[in-house]
Amino acid sequence: MKNILKTISYALIITLLYNPHAFPQTNMDNLFSDDFSTNQILKKQFSKERQLLSVNLIPSYSVIFPTLVKNLFRNIKTFSGLANLDIGDYSKYFDYIDLKGGFWYVPNISYTILLNRVIGIEFGIGAQSVNYSLLVPKDKVGDLIGAYDPSKKEYAGAVGSDTYFKASFYYIPIHIGLKIISGKTHKTVNTFRFGIETVIYNIETLNGVTGIETKRTTTIPTFYISYELGWQIDIFPRKDWRVKPYIDFSLFEIGYYIKSSMSSVYNNAKEGIGFFGSGLLDINSTLPAWNDLPKSDIIKFATSLKIAFFPRVGITIRF
């Protein structure tokens, strides 16, 4: 029996070597079927018309946060009341403090390989940054100290430099997702993602009164899951081109951070503000720790949500 099996094996190997087309490829060819003309898995044409390269021109954090912080700064009384924080008369001291913010971003780029007409695997990466600065100019320190404690205004002459608080945040989101194309015309796009968003932030302070200078850099990986609903518009529907461009729109993306960076960012920013205000204002004492925030459970849950409306406007190339 063993000799018979060996003979059959040798015969199969020899037949395959001399005639590689002796065995049908139908099953392998149809492994990824459904209206694709180039669906032979063992040939180079397998990837044709199944690759999507997308560029999202809309940033997520960069545009919103600087404006939000500026509005918070200018309407501190209103927001502190909504947050149930008692800041007393501290709001008047903000007249002596300059706030600036900025952003930049690299559009998110994603690549999708379609396993069949409606299911694909997506990989994406991007980068963005926001920065803020609080500055008390040297010539305004005396007015600020005098407004806080008139008896100490005379110490303003000992101020050696401006007092500032600077925070820079860098976000590098990387994700893998399952893309499902649905609808009668196969233009509705459902994307389920698992993402790793690395957050790198620098917090620097210089106190012109005490001369204390601080700098801290922290890197935190965060993890999230999300679902995005969107659609594609064929720019040239009547053209049968080898490479076809589409316009992307997304209605919303909703998800949840399994691990969030908010508690670390808040506590480090709170400490930095304490150094910033030392000798000027005791701002830090009015800010509770993250775990001591009023309605902390609600705040923790809300800051762990990943919600965006119209998060995607971009271009996709199918080839």
pLDDT exceeds cutoff 80 at 151: no
* Over residues 23-34, mean pLDDT: 42
pLDDT in tens, 254-298: 999 999 988 888 888 888 888 777 766 666 666 788 888 877 788
Percent helix, strand and coil across the chain, each rounded to 5? 30, 40, 30
Looking at per-residue pLDDT, the higher value among 273 and 216 belongs to 216
| Residue closest to 219 by CA, chosen among 199, 189, 237, 244 | 199
Q: Are 261 and 199 in contact (CB under 8 A)?
A: yes
| Domain residue limits, the chain | 48-318
Q: Is it the case that residue 91 has pLDDT exceeding 70?
A: no
Q: Decide if pLDDT at 318 tops 80.
A: yes
Residue 290 DSSP code: G
Higher pLDDT, 134 or 76: 134
pTM: 0.72
Specify the higher pLDDT residue, 78 or 5: 78
Per the model's pLDDT, the better-predicted residue between 162 and 69 turns out to be: 162
Strand partners, 223: 196, 259
Joined tokens for residue 113: 């390989």
Q: Which residue has the higher pLDDT, 230 or 207?
A: 230
| Most confident among 83-87, 137-141, 225-229, 236-240 (mean pLDDT) | 225-229
Pairwise CA distance, residues 277 & 311, whole Å: 37
pLDDT (tens digit per residue) in 229-249: 999 999 998 888 888 999 999
pLDDT recorded at residue 49: 73
Tokens of 311: 């998060």
Residue % of the chain over a pLDDT of 90: 33
